[in-house]
Amino acid sequence: MHVVATAGHVDHGKSTLVRALTGMEPDRLDEERRRGLTIQLGYAWTALPSGERLAFVDVPGHERFLATMLAGVGPVPAVMFVVAADEGWMPQSEEHLVALEALGVRHCLLVVTRSDLAGPAGAVEQARPRLDAAGIGGVEAVTVSGRTGQGLPELRQALDRLVSGLPRPDPAAEVRLWVDRAFSVTGSGTVITGTLPAGTVSVGDELLLAGEPVRVRGLESLKEPRDTVSGVARVAVNLRGHDVSGRGEALVTPGGWTYTDLIDVSVRPAGAPRHESAGLPRRLTVHVGSAAVAAEARHLGGSVVRLRLARPLPLHLGDVLLLRDPGRDRSEVRVLAGASVLDVRPPALGRRGAARRRAALLEAALLETAVPGMAYALRLHRLLRAVDLRAMGVPPDAPGTSGEWYADPGHWKELGRRLVEEVRRYAAGHPLEPAMPVEAARHRLGLPDRRLVTSLVRPPLALHAGRIVAGPAGLPEPVARAVERLRRDLAARPFQAPDAGRLAGLGLGPRELAAAERAGSLLRVAEGIVLLPGADVRAAALLSRLPQPFTVSQARHALATTRRVVVPLLEHLDRAGLTERLDEVHRRCR
C-alpha cells in the first residue's frame, strides 16, 4: 500500500478529486460540508489499475490551517499537487510548495483540475517553473475535471507510475508513527491513527507514546483488522495503558529514538530568495511529522542553528524539520526554512567562541562524512555505545571498538597515544610501583568505562593484575611482541626467569634484552636473567617475612624459583641495598 498527500490552494478541488478517485468522503465534518472547505485532515483510499492500494491524506488549503496541512504532509513521502485551471498558481500553492521544499518531498504529481472551466495550459506554465525551483522538477502533469470526471482514468495511471517510483521502506526500521488523530472508543480504550512511513507494528507490541510504555491491543489498516502492518501504511492503533493524547505525539519503538528537546540543525532557507538575508527569528514553530512545537533558535554560525524545543521529541540524526514563523503577517509566506538534524545530543556551550567552534565542527563533519551515518555520529561524539548509536538512527553493523563501545578512529588513536604518555608519567612519579592502576588511567583520560582503557593497552603497554606498565619505547615491533610474551610468562611466575632456550625461541638476544631493560619493560638481574621491573622490590618484601637471617635455599623456596635465578637475584638485592650478606650462606633484609 502507498500513501499520498494532497497539496494546493484553497478551493482548487483537492477534496473533490479525492472523492472522485475513491468514492469516499474526505470532508467528514458537518462544518466542512456546510462551508465547502476542508478543516481537518481527510482520509480515503482506492485500488489503482495495477492493483496497488493507495490511501490519500487530504489536507486543507486555507492559510489558517497550514499547521494541519503540515501535520498531514509531514510523515508522507509523496504528494498530489492540485492547481485549478481557472485560477492558476495562487498564494497557498506557493506556500504549500515552499513547505514541500522545506520537508524535502521529491515525489510529486502535478494535477491541473477544473479543466471544464478553463484550459490547463496557463496553470501548467505557471506551476512548472515553481516546481523546478523547489527541486521537484520534471514531474508528470495530468489534466482533469473533478466535476465531469474527464481525465480521471489517466490520473489513476499517473498515480500508479508515481507510487511505483517511491522508495521501498524498510520493514525492520524503528517505528515512529506520528499521531494525526486520537480518540477514545467506549469499551476499547484509546485509538490513534497515523501514517506509518516504515517499520512494522504488530498486535501485542510494547511501544512508547510520548515516552510512556503502551501496548498495542488491536490494529486496523484501511478499516480492516490486522495482526501486523508494515509501512508505508495508514494505521489505526488501539492502545492499552494510555490516556487519549492529541496530534503530534509519536508512537515509537523503545530504544529506537532519542527523546530530545535540544538539537543542532543545519538550516536551508525555503522559498529563496525571499528569506535569503532575513535570518531566523528567535521564536519559531518546529514541524516534524505531525508535531508542531514551539522552539527558541540560536544561530551558532554558518548554516548551523541550535533549537531548544518546548517539549522533547523522538528524533534521529538526519531528520528533516520545517521551521515556521508563528507570528508573521498573514500576507507573507510563513514557512521559513527546512532544517536537518545534525545532533540530537549537543553539548552545552560554554565560553565565548564556543558557538562558532561548534558550528565549525559540525560543518567540517558534514563535509567529511555522510549524515546520518555512524562515522558522522562518532566524529561528533567520539565515543558512543551501541544503544546510543541506535537511538540516534545510525545502528552499528559491525562489532564495537571495545565491547559495546564504538570510537571515532582518530580519537581512538589519540587516546592510545595519550595513555602511553600517562603511563610513562605515572611510572616516573612512582618508582617503587611504576605500574599505573587501570582506574587511575581511566580517570586521567576522562573515559566512561574501564574496559575502554584495557582495550587501549597494546605494545608498548601491557596489562598486569589491573595495572598498566609502560614497555619498551621505540622497540621494533617483533621485539616488543616477544618482550610482551615474556612479560605474560613472568606475570604468572614472577621469579622464574626464562631460560636460554625460551629467550632464543623468542629471538631475544643480549642486545634485545638490553634495549628492553633501557625501555623499562624488563629488569636484568644478571646477564641472561630477566624479570619484570619491580620484581626485586617484591622479592625483598617476600624475603623480609622469613626468619632472619635466611639461607639461599630458604630464599629459593620463598620465591618459588631455581638456584640459577636466586643466586644472581640475591646478589642484585645486595647491590641494591635491599639485602645484606652476612657470611657464605646467610643474608638478612635491610
- Closest of 54, 118, 115 to residue 80, by C-alpha: 54
CA distances to 426, 557, 573, 586, 587 from 550, rounded to whole Å, are: 35, 11, 14, 6, 6
Between 30 and 276, CB nearer to Mg ion: 30
113 binds, among ligand GTP, Mg ion, none (CB under 5 to 8 A by kind): ligand GTP
Which residue, among 509, 501, 504, 560, has the nearest Cα to 535 in the 3D structure? 560
Residues 6+ apart with CB under 8 A from 182: 190, 191, 192, 193, 244, 245, 246, 247, 249
d(CA 44, CA 55): 6
**Shortest distance (Å) from residue 70 CB to ligand GTP:** 14
| 10 vs 349 by CB, closer to ligand GTP | 10
Which among 378, 386, 285 has a CA at the least distance from the CA of 327? 285
Smaller CB separation from ligand GTP, 25 or 571? 25
Query: Is residue 14 near Mg ion by the rule CB under 5 A?
Result: yes
Nearest approach, Cβ of 191 to ligand GTP (angstroms)?
Answer: 25
Specify the residue, 146 or 498, whose C-beta has the smaller distance to ligand GTP.
146
- Nearer to ligand GTP by Cβ, of 37 and 252: the residue is 37
Pick the closer one to ligand GTP by CB: 144 or 513: 144
CB of 158 to ligand GTP, least distance (A): 16
- 10 vs 173, beta carbon nearer ligand GTP: 10
146 interacts with, out of ligand GTP, Mg ion, none, CB within 5 to 8 A per kind = ligand GTP
User: Residue 14 or 572: which CB sits closer to ligand GTP?
Assistant: 14
Q: Site map for Mg ion, 489-518, x if CB under 5 A? A: ------------------------------
Q: Are 325 and 287 in contact (CB under 8 A)?
A: no
User: Binding partner of residue 145 among Mg ion, ligand GTP, none, CB under 5 to 8 Å per kind?
Assistant: ligand GTP
Tell me the C-alpha distance between 122 and 428, whole Å: 84
Q: 45-80: string of b/e by CB count within 10 Å (b at 16+)?
A: bbebeeeebbbbbbbbbbbebbbbbbbbbbbbbbbb
Residue 199 contacts which entry, ligand GTP, Mg ion, none (Cβ below 5-8 A, type-dependent): none
Cβ distance 55 to 166 under 8 Å?
no
Bond from prior residue into 232 cis (ω within 30 degrees of 0): yes
Q: List residues near ligand GTP by CB under 6 A.
A: 8, 10-16, 36-38, 60-62, 113-114, 116-117, 145-147
Nearer to ligand GTP, 63 or 205 (CB): 63
Residues 20-79 that bind Mg ion (CB under 5 A): 38
**What would the x/- binding string for Mg ion be over residues 452 to 481, using CB under 5 A?**
------------------------------
What is the three-state SS of 520-562? CCCEEEECCEEECCCHHHHHHHHHCCCCCCEEHHHHHHHCCCC
74 binds, among ligand GTP, Mg ion, none (CB under 5 to 8 A by kind): none
- Would you give the DSSP letter of residue 371? S
Chain centroid to Cα 172, Å, comes to 17
* Gap between the Cα atoms of 281 and 336, Å rounded: 9
3-state secondary structure of 337: strand
User: In whole angstroms, how close is the CB of 20 to Mg ion at the nearest point?
Assistant: 12
Q: Residue 322 is inside which H or E element, if any?
A: strand 320-324
User: By CB neighbour count within 10 A (0-12 exposed, 13-18 middle, 19+ buried), where does 353 fall?
Assistant: exposed
* Nearest-10 Cα torsion for 147, 148, 149, 155: -80
Nearest to 8 by CA among 106, 85, 118, 102: 85
Q: Which is nearer to Mg ion, 15 or 238 (CB)?
A: 15
We find the least distance from the C-beta atom of residue 207 to ligand GTP, in angstroms, to be 32
CB count in 10 Å sphere of residue 271: 22
- Please identify which residue in the block is written with the cell numbers 480492516: 224
Smallest distance from the beta carbon of 215 to ligand GTP, in angstroms?
36
Span of 6-14, 107-115, 362-370, 527-535 interacting with Mg ion by CB under 5 A? 6-14
* Least Cβ distance, residue 271 to ligand GTP (angstroms): 20
Cβ at position 36, least distance to ligand GTP in Å: 5
Does 12 engage in binding with Mg ion (CB under 5 A)?
A: no
Cβ closest to ligand GTP, residue 42 vs residue 289:
42
Distance CA 562, CA 565 (A): 5
Residue 116 binds which entry of Mg ion, ligand GTP, none, with Cβ cut-offs from 5 to 8 Å by kind? Answer: ligand GTP
- Cβ nearer to ligand GTP, comparing 36 with 135: 36
CB of 397 vs Mg ion, minimal distance in Å: 44
Amino acid at 238: N
Length of the chain, in residues:
590
Work out how close the CB of 38 gets to Mg ion at its nearest, in angstroms, rounded to a whole number: 3
From Mg ion, ligand GTP, none, interface partner of 120 (C-beta below 5 to 8 A by class): none
The one of ligand GTP, Mg ion, none whose footprint includes residue 190, by CB under 5 to 8 A per kind, is none
Q: From the list ligand GTP, Mg ion, none, pick the one residue 63 interacts with, judged by a Cβ distance below 5 to 8 Å according to partner type.
A: none
Report, in Å, the least distance between residue 57 CB and ligand GTP.
12
CB of 35 to ligand GTP, least distance (A): 8
**Segment holding 128, helix H or strand E:** helix 121-133
Of the pair 38, 221, the CB lying nearest Mg ion is at 38
Q: How far is CA 146 from CA 16, 85, 113, 248, 482, in A?
A: 6, 12, 7, 32, 84
Residue 541 binds which entry of ligand GTP, Mg ion, none, CB below 5-8 Å type-dependent: none
Select the binding partner of residue 401 from ligand GTP, Mg ion, none (C-beta < 5 to 8 A, by kind). none
Nearest residue to ligand GTP by CB is 61
Least Cβ distance, residue 148 to ligand GTP (angstroms): 7
Closest distance of CB 112 from ligand GTP, Å:
10
Secondary structure (3-state) at 398: coil
Contact with Mg ion (CB under 5 A) among 3, 15, 307, 423: 15
- Closer by beta carbon to ligand GTP, 92 or else 190: 92
What CA–CA distance (Å, rounded) separates 292 from 246?
Answer: 11
Q: Which residues bind Mg ion (CB under 5 A)?
A: 14-15, 38
